[in-house]
Structures are given as C-alpha cells and as structure tokens.
Amino acid sequence: MTLDRPGFLDPVAEAQSCFRSVLSAMSRPGSITAMSHAIAAPPLDPATAAVLLTLVDADVTLWLDEPLMPSWDWLAFHAGVVRAPSRAEAAFLCVTALPPLAELFAGSDAAPETSATIILQVPGLTDGRPLTLYGPGLEAPAVIAPLGLPDDFVAQWEANHRLFPRGLDLMLCARGNFLALPRSVRIGEG
C-alpha cells in the first residue's frame, strides 16, 4: 500500500476498485476490508481518504467535523464536493466522534435511499468493546470490537435499525482498513 500519493493516480479505475470494496463491505457487515488504494491526506486516515474519494462528488453534500476540516480544500479539489450547511442536512458525514444518530437525516418513507452515510474515523477496528452483529449478509452472528464508539452506541443503533428501510449507514475507517455497518444489521453487546 503506497501512502505518499496525494489522490488516486488513475481516478476512474481506482475509484471503481474502491467502490467494489465498499459494496463488498456493505454486503458483509463487520468484515474488516483493506483499502487497496489508500491515500495520504492527513488528518484523514488512508482508508477514510479513499472512501471519501470513492463516495463523494459534486452531486452530494458533506459535513466534516472540526478535527478533519483541514482536509476540506483537498476534498474540494479531488472530488468537487459541496459543503453541507449542517450535520442534519448532510448526505455524507465524515467525523472523528459519532454524532447523535437521531439528529441526522434518516431518509423518508418515499425515499429511504436518501439517508445520510456516516464515515467515522476511529483509532482502531479491534481491541474495543465487543459487539455482536446479526442480520442480512451474515451467515452467523459476527463479533466486531472497534475503538472510539460512544457508550450508548448499541441503543442508538437499535433506534436507527427500527427505522428500516429508512436509517443511517455507517462506515468505520482506521488507518488502511474499514468495515461497514448497513442500517439493516442489528447490533448487540458482547
């Protein structure tokens, strides 16, 4: 994995490859996936930067939290992304601390696909509090243990899951790896 690249060297092919990785991760909730085209764009982790370049463009709005704001010009240059007026109005959020899920746009009954996607940059995808995943894409329950989730994450996620088919999707990124938690998955303690 090369980390001295300022962006995708072959934007179309690398974005397509990363998009396939994202789709694969969404279809296999909780599976840790290595981002093959990681990029150096501090303060974004390599996987966070690649996921953003893959998913955001001039047709969507993005909210960055304060620690990631130094990346705004880089994202605007590479993706042409539009700044969301507020967290609640963002199509995508890229954050280092999970905001209250109930405050974000969860789609509508007529258009659940318009809900927000959260890209959460965490310190690690292992060594945290164990959580068990159940639902579509899992042959058996799966256990994940990401660092950096709030203490009330399971309760917040349960409320999010009850909105299905509406609801938020969450991607956790750490260094060159990421995992996905689609709104369809249920999460329990332990």
Would you say domain 11-189 falls under CATH 3.40.50.11310? yes
**Three-state secondary structure call for residue 111:** coil
Q: In what order do the strands lie in the sheet with 186-189?
A: 142-144, 131-134, 186-189
Separation of alpha carbons 156 and 187, rounded Å: 10
Q: What average pLDDT does the chain have?
A: 93
What's the pLDDT band for 71 if we cut at 50, 70, 90?
very high
Contact between residue 168 and residue 116 where contact means Cβ atoms under 8 Å apart: yes
* 1-37 pLDDT, tens digit each: 444 456 777 878 888 888 999 999 999 999 999 987 7
Mean pLDDT, range 144-161, rounded to an integer: 98
Separation of alpha carbons 105 and 116, rounded Å: 6
Q: Which residues contact 59 (CB under 8 A, 6 or more apart)?
A: none
Query: Where are the chain's structural domains?
Result: 11-189
pTM beyond cutoff 0.85: yes
